[in-house]
């Protein structure tokens, strides 16, 4: 089953947030909108507009077409310096911050 464009944008946004370690509040601040608006868009109760998609792509430093292509392409094009550093099991056990 193919994903709709809206589903691809929501999935790409969720994947990018996960990969960068951002939460909805972080993204809302970066885009200049409320966390509630992010939540509504991510839950499918409101749509991401093309203007929103451009802002998302700019925020993550990727092309809007890569965002629209879905989570795999969006994450593949995210610059390495934007990715959060994964915690190693030893660091997690010691409580070392990320």
pLDDT tens-digit readout, 11-24: 999 999 999 999 99
pLDDT tens-digit readout, 42-82: 999 999 999 999 999 999 999 999 999 999 999 999 999 99
How many Å apart are CA 87 and CA 91, to the nearest integer?
A: 6
pTM score of the predicted model: 0.84
Is the Cβ–Cβ distance between 15 and 74 less than 8 Å?
yes
pLDDT of residue 95: 56
Give the DSSP H or E segment for 80.
none
């Amino acid at each position: 089953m193919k994903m709709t464009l809206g589903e691809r944008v929501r999935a790409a946004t969720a994947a990018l947030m996960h990969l960068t370690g951002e939460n909805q509040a972080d993204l809302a601040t970066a885009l200049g909108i409320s966390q509630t608006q992010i939540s509504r868009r991510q839950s499918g109760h409101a749509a991401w507009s093309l203007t929103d998609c451009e802002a998302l792509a700019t925020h993550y430093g990727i092309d809007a077409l890569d965002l629209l292509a879905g989570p795999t392409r969006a994450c593949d094009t995210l610059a390495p310096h934007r990715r959060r550093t994964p915690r190693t099991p030893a660091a997690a056990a010691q409580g070392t911050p990320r």
